[in-house]
Amino acid sequence: MCKKKKIYKNKIYFEEFRNLAVKIIKLLKEKSKLLKNIEYKTYFDELTSLPNKLKLEKDLKKLNPKGSMIVDIKNFSLINNYYSIEFGDMVLKNLAKNLKNLLPDNCKLYRYSADEFIVLNFGEILCKELVEKIFSYFKYKIIDIKYKNEEIPINIELIMAIIKDGNKENIIKKLHLALLYAKKNDLNIVFYNEKMDIEEKVIKKFESIEMVKKALTEDRIIPVFQKIIKPDKISYECLVRIKEKDRLISPFFFLDNVKNTALYFEITKTMIRKSCEVFKNRREDFSINFSYKDLHNDKIKRYLKEHIEKYNLQGRVIIELLETEAMEDFKEVIKFIKEMKPYGIKTAIDDFGTGYSNFSYLADIHPDYIKIDGSLIKTINKNKRYYTIVKHVNYFAHDLGIKTIAEFVHNKEVYDVLVELGIDGFQGYYIEEPREVI
């Protein structure tokens, strides 16, 4: 007789199963929350909580608005400069909140860029009455902004450009063209039409803005490096370019056109980050160009400090300031130099000789370097007046303990004259052309 085999069954412990199920559900919830958080940060503006530029572009692919409008704060840069960037942010939050309350339910509001808001209308066509209502609300209303334990009254004047039809082709481009037309003609409200007399340079400005936006999105803003030789060392100037396929686009074609937009600061941040990344493992000093606007922007200055500390670049970074801008507000430059001193940041006055050339201001600022402008250098071997100017600039700078660098050194004859004069450093195509890789 066969013995019966014992059959063993795995015991299922209910408590363990339940605990496992709870952990899985928790992980799924955390994943869902994380995905929602990522989506929110991607498609919504952190300051105003409004949908952002990316969300607008995504929505326009599937939605068909019956009209659209762009809203811009007139002279917003004055608010930032007079009060602070933080105060300007509070103004933007207030504007966003009030705009949202004023718009009907069939309109969707987006924050497109710094002080630009775009409205898509999905109900009735945007009418003149609604536009004038919004404009008048802000024009005649004094808004109290709470800032540093006090209420500051402020009046916001808007510039508004409107497209009344539902043709969404190139809608953002049309809105910006109309906005530029309004600014050029000092108008507050403009309705776009194809026959608008928009000058060629205005169109080029808009095209430059679009080119920079695209380049920033695709990470094609890059530094190129031009060698500067000095008696004791070699340094490099980091120059901005847009990389497009097999060519590099000079800032001459785009930088001035974006100076009054938030894109300008994004370019500065990109140059700081990428330049620091290149030189973190090298030994040379390097210079980055700053504008008057950069000097007034606390976020840019903080960004510069963070990257110097992150890559241990103390004592190796030189900030170049245009002479015309440095002399305009030399007190701000002195303040900047003092603020950056703990980080070992040096300063250079760029294009010296093209602006005021006020030597008393130069003595007050006392930069580490002055870079003598190429217009004085390129014919110094033939032009006696330029020779005399450069000679005396060099003497004066040396008496103050400031080193001199000559720009536009393009041949041996010019170089030999500058060496004879005792110039400290040399930059130009004779020394080396700007290079993408060093």
pLDDT per residue, tens digit, the chain (438 aa), is: 555 555 544 555 666 777 777 777 777 776 666 666 677 788 899 899 999 998 998 899 888 888 899 999 988 888 877 788 888 889 999 999 999 999 998 899 999 988 999 999 887 767 778 888 898 898 888 888 877 778 888 888 899 999 987 777 788 888 988 898 888 888 999 998 877 766 666 777 778 888 999 999 999 999 999 999 987 789 999 999 999 988 999 999 999 888 878 889 999 999 999 999 999 999 999 999 999 889 888 899 999 999 999 999 999 999 999 877 766 677 888 889 999 999 999 999 998 876 555 677 788 888 999 999 999 999 999 999 999 999 999 999 999 999 999 999 999 999 999 999 999 999 999 999 999 999
CA-only gyration radius of the chain, Å: 29
From residue 37, give the alpha-carbon distance in Å to each of 31, 40, 42: 10, 5, 9
| Per-residue pLDDT reduced to its tens digit, 250-302 | 999 999 888 878 889 999 999 999 999 999 999 999 999 999 889 888 899 99
Here the tokens at position 368 are 């580490």
Asked if 213 contacts 263 with a C-beta cutoff of 8 angstroms, the reply is yes
Residue found under tokens 């409004």: 50
What DSSP string runs through 271-299? Answer: HHHHHHHHHTTS-SEEEEEE-HHHHT-HH
Asked if 344 contacts 315 with a C-beta cutoff of 8 angstroms, the reply is yes
What are 248's strand-pairing partners? 243
Here the tokens at position 139 are 């024009």
Report the DSSP pairing between strands 116-121 and 142-147. Answer: unpaired
Closest by Cα among 305, 265, 310 to 85? 265
What DSSP string runs through 194-248? Answer: TT----HHHHHHHHHHHHHHHHHHTT-EEEEEEEEE-SS-EEEEEEEEEEETTEE
Beta-carbon contacts of 181 under 8 Å, excluding residues fewer than 6 positions away, are 161, 187, 190, 196, 197, 198, 202
Distance CA 404, CA 397 (A): 7
Distance CA 129, CA 127 (A): 5
Q: At what angle do helices 85-102 and 298-310 cross, to 10 degrees?
A: 120
Distance CA 313, CA 343 (A): 8
Residue found under tokens 């330029």: 386
Asked if 166 contacts 60 with a C-beta cutoff of 8 angstroms, the reply is no
Torsion angles phi and psi, residue 110, rounded to 5: -130, 145
